[in-house]
């Protein structure tokens, strides 16, 4: 029997976007315009093209702007908004928190998870949309792995994630695109606060990796991180060439 196709995605978009400087002062960085549309529009468009039919958008900072976005594009995207600050408060912070807050909305199913300031191709998203009982994380070969979390593999399985290694261990970096089974929620509950004062999603993934429940899939098409003002021009140029 073929694996069930996953139709749900969680998009983490509660952060402030401090690296975008004044551009994110009055709205979430995900709504900064690129090529005449909010960046989030392209993120959700590619999820829709991949076949995602339910999008759970976890919001927090400037949530009113996100609500306006959801209303404006209500005929384009099947959005459900989850308020991270309402569920977890404003003091509990880290990449694990938006996933944890989406638990009820996910409803016990496997799901795709992305950060709302990252854009992936429909093809790379689609490659993860098979519910085979494993968690998947996506890796990308990068020239400067020391700037990212690096994935250590053992065959097709994830062995560990090393955050910003000072010595070279691999050039396969973690892109933030993942497919999770419901087991991620138990793993998140087991995570302790990190030295940075945050609840890290990678710590939860490590717990599952130790149980041989996490596989790694390579990004084959493209990945863009929308992190600073220079990315606006870079992504705009890409969109102009590749999306009418």
pLDDT in tens, 43-58: 999 999 999 999 999 9
- State how far the Cα of 135 lies from the Cα of 116, in Å rounded to an integer: 20
CA distance 131 to 95: 23
Q: With contact defined as beta carbons under 8 Å apart, do 242 and 42 qualify?
A: no
Residue 244 clears pLDDT 60, i.e. is over it: no
Q: Which two tokens stand for residue 34?
A: 């690129």
**E runs forming strands in the chain:** 4-5, 8-13, 33-34, 37-38, 54-59, 79-83, 111-115, 118-120, 130-131, 135-141, 149-154, 157-163, 172-180, 214-218, 223-225
C-beta of residue 154 within 8 angstroms of C-beta of residue 82: no
Three-state DSSP class for residue 126: helix
For the chain, the domains span 4-138+175-242
- What is the mean pLDDT of the segment spanning 12-21? 79
- Whether the predicted pLDDT of 87 surpasses 70: yes
Rounded Cα distance, 84 and 15, in Å: 10
pTM for this entry: 0.95
The SS3 call for residue 238 is helix
pLDDT digits (tens, 9 = 90+) for 129-147: 999 999 999 999 999 999 9
- Banded model confidence at residue 22, pLDDT cuts 50, 70, 90: low
- Alpha carbon 232 to its chain's center: 19
Q: Got the DSSP string for 145-182?
A: GGGSEEEEEETTEEEEEEES-SS-S-SEEEEEEEEE-T
- Residues, the chain, total? 244
Half-sphere exposure of 244 (CA within 13 A, CB side): 0
234 membership: H or E segment, kind and range: helix 230-242
pLDDT score at 26 = 76
Q: How many CB atoms sit inside 10 A of residue 49's CB? A: 13
Topology given in CATH for the domain delimited by 4-138+175-242: Spore Coat Polysaccharide Biosynthesis Protein SpsA; Chain A (3.90.550)
């Amino acid at each position: 029997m073929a694996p069930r196709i996953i139709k749900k995605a969680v998009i983490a978009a509660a952060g402030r976007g401090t690296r975008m400087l004044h551009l994110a002062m009055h709205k979430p960085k995900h709504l900064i315009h690129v090529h005449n549309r909010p960046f989030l529009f392209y993120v959700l468009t590619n999820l829709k093209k991949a076949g995602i039919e339910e999008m759970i958008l976890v919001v927090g900072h400037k949530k009113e702007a996100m609500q306006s976005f959801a209303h404006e594009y209500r005929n384009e995207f099947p959005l459900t908004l989850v308020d991270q600050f309402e569920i977890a408060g404003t003091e509990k912070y880290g990449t694990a928190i938006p996933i944890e807050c989406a638990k009820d909305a996910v409803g016990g199913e496997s799901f795709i998870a992305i950060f709302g300031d990252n854009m992936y191709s429909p093809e790379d998203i689609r490659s993860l949309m098979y519910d085979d009982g494993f968690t998947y994380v996506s890796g990308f070969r990068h020239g400067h792995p020391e700037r990212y979390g690096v994935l250590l593999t053992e065959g097709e399985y994830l062995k560990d994630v090393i955050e910003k290694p000072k010595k070279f261990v691999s050039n396969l970096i973690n892109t933030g695109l993942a497919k999770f089974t419901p087991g991620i929620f138990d793993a998140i509950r087991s995570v302790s606060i990190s030295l940075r004062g945050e609840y890290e999603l990678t710590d939860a993934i490590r717990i599952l990796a130790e149980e041989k429940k996490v596989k790694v899939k390579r990004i084959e098409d493209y990945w863009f991180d929308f992190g600073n003002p220079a990315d606006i021009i870079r992504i705009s140029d890409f969109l102009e060439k590749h999306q009418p």
